[in-house]
Chain A
Amino acid sequence: MSSPLLGEFLRSRGVTRRDFLQFCTTTTALMGLSSTLVPRVATALAQARRPSVIWLPFQECTGCTESITRAHGSTLESLIFQGISLDYQHTLQAAAGDAAERARETAMKENWGRYLLIVDGSIPTGNKGFSTVAGLDNLSLLQEVARGAAAIVALGSCAAFGGIPAANPNPTGAVAVSDVVKDKPIINVSGCPPIPVVITGVLTQYLTFGKLPELDALGRPRSFYGQTIHDRCYRRPFYERGQFADSFDDEGARQGWCLYKLGCRGPTTHNACATVKWNDGTSFPIEAGHGCIGCSEPGFWDKGGFYQPLSTGHWGSARTVGIAVGVGAALGVASAALARKRQKDAEGA
């Protein structure tokens, strides 16, 4: 299936040159690139061959798909997706069953070494029966499809880090894509789910430059995950001044004060929520009055209660303290007894 160039495809769908350039400008800015690069982005996108994209869903909740298709008031994102040859995607594709699998195999064969693999959901390594597609377990499927991919986007915290399935006690042995595939470039677009424009921005960057964007230590694009929520939070002045909400809907909460005391993970969470926000810039959790839960960080389900402030920790329990008291007292008594005995012996000597 030879695809027309992206630019032609968009024009054929009624996207004006003006609208197209507007999209390129916005996306360039979102990627943190200079405005001088807008023409380059536009040219690259216009002349981009619609790359084949294969989307494998594993142990996922479909939230990432929902997020990305929640393009309120912006049909451009969905058009881009249609513009990109999305050859395999369970939720959006028309085909099902054998037909769907054949579509995947065909796309793989025709575009071997060049297709983009998107994965959402974690991969179970326990019993192979935990999650299968067309009778093939996730692990084997991933390994097979990854072999011909040019790059992999691990979409959502599950694919990037293991996510909810991997939370303690991880009954399925869920792992991240990067735990399985070691020899292909992987972009971790974490979040539970990730922000819609983040995924389009990442794809745009990839299409424009033909290579991966700059990634942080956890494989996330720096342009979106390079700062913490805390550093861009509009409530930061209240943190600095020490004005905190003590409980939900109290006076401080109503004044829009910092949510640190209510367990906000802002300081340790890297994402673009505080700047780009959600629902086309409507709001984000903190603005809605709930602390950040750190969903774009690895293991965020296992970092203590969401309402425990960051400064608290696992100091132990009444039991461990009790044991320590007992041990300390015993050692103290023993050492005093030993000293007294030495004294008695010395007096006898």
Chain B
Amino acid sequence: MTETTPTTRELDPLEFDKPRVSIRKPEHRFDTQGELPDAARVERAMNSFVRDFGRTAAVYMESCIHCGMCAEACHFYEVTQDPKYTPIWKLEPFKQAYKREYGPFAFVYRALNLKPKVTVDELQQWQHLLYDSCTVCGRCSLMCPMGIDIASLVSQARHGMFKAGLVPHELAAVTERAQREGSPLGATPKVFADRCEWLSDEHDVEITIDKPRAEVLCAMSSIEIMKYPESVVATARIMRHVGADWTFRLDGYEATNFGLLTGDAATQKTLTLKIIHAAVACGAKVVVLPECGHAYTALRWMGANMYGKPLPFKVMHIAEFLAEQVRAGKLRLRKVGKSATFHDPCQLVRRGGAIEAPREVLQALGVELREMYPTKGSNWCCGGGGGVVAIHRADELRHKVFKIKMEQIEETGAELPVTSCANCRQTFDDGQAHFKWDKTMHSLLELVADNLVEDEQ
């Protein structure tokens, strides 16, 4: 199975020639990190757990009535019918630990040993459940009759797993990269700057970098920088089109947050603060996040808490920014006379609340919008979020899930599947390649940029 990592290890090389960007499939998986005795791993996991916990999480832990309905909402259960994928089951070791360490009867549980201590074996088994088969999409949270936000508990559990050094190989590798290089996928500041220069020339558009003062700070995701560089161009073109006073900053441009995905709270904070400090440094009034779901969760909803106080700027997803421009009449668009359907990125729509913004933009684009079923908040996850798309051993499972999306889209009969998240997009690309599907996922951002009506210069 897996071995503990040696104290020094080679960097896992990234591979860019596959439909989805990740490290190359490892020959030896190192799904535990660090030289730690088992007892210490458990101790750290539980400690982190106790530190993290608050009233809300405790209420959730107390509320589960074992109805099992969360399974009905989860795509991983849907395609396997394997009960181990029941969302709340992912929390089982942590539920036990909660009752034993932190709950109101904790003293009694410990004194009478009513709940045994969690073992390292259990935690190792649970790695697959917490990482490979959870995209933190929140569908389960939407279903739960008790109103438990199961997805948020999974994120908290990942903190414990990280502290215990029990993170899947790929996520550990790219998170370490992000911490060290500033990007999980090789889009270091130098690489980014070089790309921007090259793209700027190639597409004849100014890509502003490191303006000392700007109203709008834009960020990008490594996925776009490395795989969909047209998005960088699209961003620049749109900003120019609407006359925004905008910039990228090399000290804060990376919007993805593998610290969040892995459960590495310290790295999550470091990455988030970079953007915040960059925004503060240039006096930005708005930070526009790229097409990335977890980037939105990380900064829009968690950023201020990393910062410790309200952010001195607004945070918007590019889809929200575009919708705002539509409402202000600042986007002049050609009508795309095709039928389209929108795949809702979980973090943006269901979890993030930007439900109508992408649709406003699509309407402005003049497509014939055919909603898939279910849609908006109830839509199915693409199956690649939360770090799942990066994990090789999860590919088979993820491909099964992808069938749901294909079916949904086929049902609509729409010509253009559109989304607003680069991770969803690469998940679709990978699924399309695997199933030799004839439909390609499009980026809302790029669709807008491609259909701008520019004045003749």
Selecting from A48-56, A111-119, A146-154, A338-346, the interface stretch reads: A338-346
In angstroms, Cα B105 to Cα A336, docked, is: 10
CB of A255 closer than 8 Å to a CB of B:
no
User: Could you tell me the distance in whole angstroms from the C-beta of A341 to the nearest C-beta in chain B?
Assistant: 11
Smallest Cβ-Cβ distance to A347: which chain B residue:
B51
Residue of A nearest to B44 (CB): A349
Cross-chain contact B106 with A335 (CB below 8 angstroms): yes
Partner of A346, one of B50, B103, B104: B50
Min CB gap B296→A, angstroms = 28
Q: Which of A303-349 contact B (CB under 8 A)?
A: 331-332, 335-336, 338-339, 342-343, 346-347, 349
From A331, which residue of chain B is reached at the shortest CB distance?
Answer: B104
Q: What is the 8 Å Cβ interface bit string for chain B, positions 37-51, against chain A (1 contact, 0 not)? A: 000000000011011
Bound together, the chains give a CA A342 to CA B104 distance in angstroms of: 12
Give min CB distance, B433 to chain A, whole Å: 46
- Our pick among A331, A332, A338 for the contact of B106 (Cβ within 8 Å) is A338
0/1 interface trace, chain B 94-109, chain A, CB 8 Å (1 if under) = 0000000111111100
Kindly state the separation between the CA atoms of A267 and B319 in the bound complex, as whole angstroms: 73
Interface pair A335/B47, CB less than 8 Å apart: no
Bound-state Cα–Cα, A331 to B107, Å: 11
A338 to B110 CA separation, bound complex (whole angstroms)? 13
Q: Report yes or no: B107 in contact with A343, Cβ–Cβ below 8 A.
A: no
B98 nearest CB neighbor, chain A only: A339
Residues of B within 8 A of A338 (CB): 106-107
Chain A nearest CB, measured from B387 CB (Å): 26
Q: Are B51 and A343 in contact (CB under 8 A)?
A: yes
Interface of chain B residues 69 through 116 with chain A (CB within 8 A) = 101-107
Query: In the complex, what residues of B have CB within 8 A of residue A343's CB?
Result: 50-51, 53, 102
Chain B residue with the shortest CB-CB distance to A343: B50
- Whether B101 lies near A335 (C-beta < 8 A) is no
What is the bound-complex CA distance between A342 and B101, given in angstroms?
9
Contact A342 B50 (CB under 8 A): yes
Q: Is the CB of A349 within 8 A of B106?
A: no
Cα–Cα, bound, A338→B102 (Å): 8
Structural contact, A335 and B105, CB atoms closer than 8 A: yes
**B104 to chain A: which residues have CB within 8 Å?**
331-332, 335-336, 339
What range describes how many residues of A lie at the interface? 10 to 19
Query: Which A residues, 265 to 303, have Cβ-Cβ distances below 8 Å to chain B?
Result: none
Residues of B within 8 A of A349 (CB): 47
User: A260 vs B329: C-alpha distance in the bound complex, in angstroms?
Assistant: 77
CA distance A339 to B110 in the complex (A): 13
Which residues of chain A come closer than 8 Å to B107, judged between CB atoms? 335, 338
CB neighbours (8 Å) of B102 from chain A are 339, 342-343
The smallest beta-carbon distance between A332 and chain B, in angstroms, is: 7
Residues of B within 8 Å of A331, CB to CB, are: 104
Residues of A within 8 A of B106 (CB): 335, 338-339
In angstroms, Cα B50 to Cα A332, docked, is 18
> Across the two chains, which residue of chain A brings its CB closest to B104?
A335
Residues of B within 8 A of A347 (CB): 51
C-alpha gap A338/B100 in the complex (Å): 13
Report A-chain residues with C-beta under 8 Å of the C-beta of B103: 335, 339
Q: Would you give the shortest CB distance from A346 to chain B, in whole angstroms?
A: 5
Residues of B near A336 (CB, < 8 A) are 104
Separation in Å of the A336 CB from the closest CB of chain B?
A: 7
CA distance A339 to B53 in the complex (A): 10
For window 29-66 of chain B, which residues contact chain A by CB distance below 8 Å? 47-48, 50-51, 53
27 A-B pairs with CB atoms under 8 Å apart are: A331-B104, A332-B104, A335-B103, A335-B104, A335-B105, A335-B106, A335-B107, A336-B104, A338-B106, A338-B107, A339-B102, A339-B103, A339-B104, A339-B106, A342-B50, A342-B101, A342-B102, A343-B50, A343-B51, A343-B53, A343-B102, A346-B47, A346-B48, A346-B50, A346-B51, A347-B51, A349-B47
Residue positions of A touching B, CB distance < 8 A: 331-332, 335-336, 338-339, 342-343, 346-347, 349
Q: Closest 9 A-B residue pairs measured CB to CB?
A: A335-B104, A346-B51, A346-B50, A346-B47, A339-B102, A347-B51, A343-B50, A342-B50, A343-B51
Known: A335-B106, A343-B102. 8 other contacts (CB 8 A): A335-B103, A335-B105, A338-B106, A339-B102, A342-B50, A343-B50, A346-B47, A346-B51
